[in-house]
Amino acid sequence: MIEGVKVKNLRLIPDERGRLMEILRADDEMFSEFGQVYMTTAFPGVIKAWHYHKKQTDNFTCVRGLMRLGLYDPRKDSPTYGEVQEFILGIDKPALVQIPPEVYHGFKCVSDEEAVVINTVTIPYDSNDPDEYRVDPFDNDIPFDWSK
């Protein structure tokens, strides 16, 4: 596991009306602070990668479709420097993955339907000073193969 990455297995609670799933609570051990919640999607086969944040912590879960989440640790002072990690997330495999600052991350929709991702972040997005640093999904030094 990449240093600072945390995973919370989620539980779907069904009843005759549908299903409920708690994602992140203020009393969870992994909760630190609230910035905003947003939804992002990707169509089948689309890759949204790579970026990292210097200050923000992300909390990703996939509530529709299936996504392959990739992580890479470029932090030279980290005990997991240079490591990659991946998760397959979806409603049938519900989990929340917490991604610490300075860890590259991205995802690919690997289902036949649009993947819907919910991200609860610790810092609100500031369009005047975005805490977002990007590299090309393929032209980079990250040892991760999106073609799998």
69-90 pLDDT, tens per residue? 999 999 999 999 999 999 999 9
| CATH level 3 topology of 6-134 | Jelly Rolls (2.60.120)
Q: pTM of the full predicted structure?
A: 0.95
For the chain, what are the domain ranges? Answer: 6-134
Tell me the three state secondary structure of residue 120.
strand
Give residue-wise pLDDT tens across range 32-60.
Answer: 999 999 999 999 999 999 999 999 999 99
Q: CA 91 → CA 51, 54, 143, distances in Å?
A: 24, 29, 28
